[in-house]
Amino acid sequence: MKNSTELAILNNIDVPTLIINKNGTIEFCNNAACLNLNRTAEELIENHFEKFMLPEVSERRKAILKECLESGRKMVFEDVRDGRNLLHSVTPLSSERAIITLADVTNWNIKEQQNIHLEKLVKTRTSELKKTKDFLQSVIDAIPYPLAVKDSEHKWVLINKIIGDMFQLPVEEMIGKTDYDFIRKEEADVFRAVEENVFATGEPNINEEKLTEIDGRERWQIAEKALFHDPDGNKYLIAIAHDITEKKLAAIELEKHREKLEELVAERTAELLRTQDQLIQSQKMDAIGKLAGGIAHEFNNILAIVIATTSVVLDSLDESDPNFKHMDRIKKVSARAKDMTMNLLTFARKEKLDVRSTSAEAIVSELLDLLKRTVSKNINICSETAKSSATMSLDMNQAIQALLNVSINACDSMSENGVITIMAEDVSLNDKDCAAIPNSSFGDYCRISVIDTGKGMPADVINRIYEPFFTTKERGKGTGLGMPITLGIVQRHNGFMSVNSAPGKGTRVDIYFPAIKGSSPAAPAASSEDSPPKVAGTILVVDDDKDFLEITAEILALNGLNPIPASGAARALELYRKRRNEIDLVILDMMMPEVDGVETFRLLRAINPDVKVIVCSGYSIDRSASRVINDGALGFLQKPFENAALISMIADVLDQSSH
């Protein structure tokens, strides 16, 4: 408004006009304003307008000017000065200054003044209400949780922006509507039931709610709902919700993990219990095995004396002698006893394996020959080996013994017209397969199965079949060693067994022998039954058993040898020191008190590094015997042995040393 023409126009109009900047300084006033205010232009311009009015009036003018400049809206107000009603119009020229005009409305129509005043009040009240509403909306929009107010008809009268965002709608479009317009009916039914109870009782409610958003995502919230009244007594419900979706999903996931963990714990617990049972069974079997091995060893020592003595007596008797048949019977019974001790040693894992490459067909073929000569003709025996081409590394005799034990049990469980099926099949086991078979491991196997149509077994019997001396047969018809010996044989071949049976449904026993690659079954070794050669020499016999010493010395003497018996290690060492030059060979027992065979051999070697020794034991070649043989012993004899076997080995050793 600094154009001179514009200012000139303003200066000449009859309406009092002033231009005031935002600081309240008068920048322009026309002649009409000077007359109205009874001031000269020089007195007004460049002075603050409050200088020319009372303080209470001045404060109101400043507030009006400030609101006008900040809002950019024209402001109209009326006041009384010197008995006159003056209407002020404040119009913003910019954000920095406003033009003010004055009009004397003293003589205006009273009704018109009232209407103007009423309109002004309505506008003011409307503006105030809008400000209050906007402020309230801003307040609830600032709350970081869904918030809603519902009337008694469950219509939304106030909601915050978060709820609008949840349903992707402006807040204004949701006012006046209900839950049923936006969420699933089954979810809205739950909300409605809770809210009706709050309206009815006035009691606040806190509960967990689930709702589905417009995009299909499920969310969970803790909703707090309470009743309040407006000044007119109308009921309203306010609800505020706290989102717990992440916690709920985490809890659901945690529950899944907990259930999975419980399953794993149950599986591991069952596995540990199975392992514990297997360990207890293994320890029990080991303890019994040691006991059985010890008994077998001692019994073999006794049998060695019996068999050797009967052989000497038989050699001195004519077959027509009445005592010949009695001694022969003793020898045969002793041979049967020897077989029993060998079974005990097998069970105790102290019987050496004679391992050769063989096939399932060869084993099953020989087993069938034995069964046909053993079992009742009323029992039908079938076989199937076409599914097996694997080669196994087995002690043929022991493997057949194991299968024979199982087959005899199968025969004993059946009445007439029963069927036994011997089946061989190549299988590859994975971890899943092994989980169902105790003590198994994955790999390639030849599975030989003995399947019968017998009476079957209950679970409590199956759990005890490997216990030594446990039997379900009548007294005198079973020793209870068949299955323990079978298990021992199988485990010594790095195999394992499984038994499936139920009363009235027969029994299936599966034996798994490891399959080997790149080998073909070996041809059986030829046997020789040549009579022992004639020998001569001086033999030092070392044993702690006096009877064994006497009979062995007698056998040696009868075969042209010069025996020197020595009871125990100390006596043997004493004799060897004195007569080492005349002693050709030492027969040394491995199991002696105080000083055993290993230490005695070491002491003999200390006297003469070239000493010739044959070791013997009631056990087969165990760790101690193997150690002595590796250190230079020239032969091994297992008690009880045939007299001819003793003389034959002595001849071999002396013959080798003479070359």
Write down which residue in 223, 243, 263 finishes a domain: 243
Long-range contacts of 499-504 (CB under 8 A, 24+ apart): 499/457, 499/462, 499/465, 501/456, 501/457, 501/462, 502/456, 502/457, 502/458, 503/455, 503/456, 503/457, 503/458, 504/455, 504/456
326-364 pLDDT per residue, tens: 777 777 777 766 666 666 666 555 555 667 888 888 888
Number of H helices, E strands in the chain: 20, 22
Residue 402: count other Cβ atoms within 10 Å of its Cβ. Answer: 31
Residue 4's pLDDT is 66
CATH number at residue 475: 3.30.565.10
| H-helix or E-strand spanning residue 615 | strand 613-617
Residue 127 within any structural domain of the chain:
no
User: pTM, whole model, 2 decimals?
Assistant: 0.40
Residue 113 within any structural domain of the chain:
no
- Is pLDDT of 35 > 90? no
Residues 268 and 309 in one domain: yes
- Is pLDDT of 532 > 60? no
Residues 259 and 151 in one domain: no
User: What is the rounded CA–CA span in Å between residue 553 and residue 551?
Assistant: 5
User: What is the rounded CA–CA span in Å between residue 582 and residue 317?
Assistant: 33
Residue 117 within any structural domain of the chain:
no
Mean pLDDT across the chain? 82
Residue 165's pLDDT is 86
Residue 439's pLDDT is 85
618-648 pLDDT per residue, tens: 766 666 777 888 888 888 888 888 888 888 8
Residues 551 and 455 in one domain: no
Residue 614 within any structural domain of the chain:
yes
441-496 pLDDT per residue, tens: 888 999 999 999 888 889 888 888 887 777 777 665 666 677 888 888 888 888 99
Residues 604 and 633 in one domain: yes
Residues 368 and 510 in one domain: yes
387-402 pLDDT per residue, tens: 888 888 888 878 888 8
More confident residue, 65 or 336: 65
- The 3 state secondary structure assigned to 101-125 is EEEECCCCCHHHHHHHHHHHHHHHH
Number of domains in the chain: 5
What tokens does 179 get?
A: 């839950």
> At CA 70, angle to CA 64 and CA 76, rounded to 5?
35
| H-helix or E-strand spanning residue 92 | strand 84-92
Residues 283 and 423 in one domain: no
Residue 261 within any structural domain of the chain:
yes
Beta bridge partners of 421: 382, 451
Residues 369 and 487 in one domain: yes
- C-alpha dihedral sign at 163, 169, 175, 176: negative
Residues 75 and 179 in one domain: no
Distances (CA, A) of 582 to 113, 376, 563, 589: 159, 60, 11, 21
Residues 610 and 653 in one domain: yes
Among 45-54, 194-203, 247-256, the least confident range: 45-54
- The 3 state secondary structure assigned to 357-410 is EEEHHHHHHHHHHHHHHHCCCCCEEEEEEEECCCEEEEEHHHHHHHHHHHHHHH
Write down which residue in 456, 482, 516 finishes a domain: 516
Residue 126 within any structural domain of the chain:
no
Residue 349's pLDDT is 53
**151 neighbors 234 (Cβ within 8 angstroms):** yes
Residue 420: count other Cβ atoms within 10 Å of its Cβ. Answer: 24
Residue 368 within any structural domain of the chain:
yes
User: What is the rounded CA–CA span in Å between residue 75 and residue 470?
Assistant: 114
Beta bridge partners of 586: 540, 613
Nearest in space to 508 (alpha carbons), one of 406, 433, 586, 579: 406
Residue 329 within any structural domain of the chain:
yes
User: What is the rounded CA–CA span in Å between residue 278 and residue 439?
Assistant: 8
CATH number at residue 12: 3.30.450.20
Residues 567 and 482 in one domain: no
Residue with tokens 């709902």: 225
Residue 35: count other Cβ atoms within 10 Å of its Cβ. Answer: 11
Q: Strand 26-29 relative to strand 235-243: parallel, antiparallel, unpaired?
A: unpaired
CATH number at residue 567: 3.40.50.2300
Q: What residue numbers bound the domain in which 432 lies? A: 352-516
Residues 364 and 340 in one domain: no
User: What is the rounded CA–CA span in Å between residue 162 and residue 168?
Assistant: 10
Q: What is the DSSP string of 534-586?
A: P---EEEEEES-HHHHHHHHHHHHHTT-EEEEEESHHHHHHHHHHHTTT--EE
Write down which residue in 345, 361, 394 finishes a domain: 345
Highest average pLDDT, of 100-109, 395-404, 583-592, comes from 583-592
Nearest in space to 14 (alpha carbons), one of 87, 103, 98, 86: 103
Residues 367 and 447 in one domain: yes
- Whether the bond into 55 is cis, omega within 30 of 0: no
Residue 397's pLDDT is 79
Residue 528's pLDDT is 39
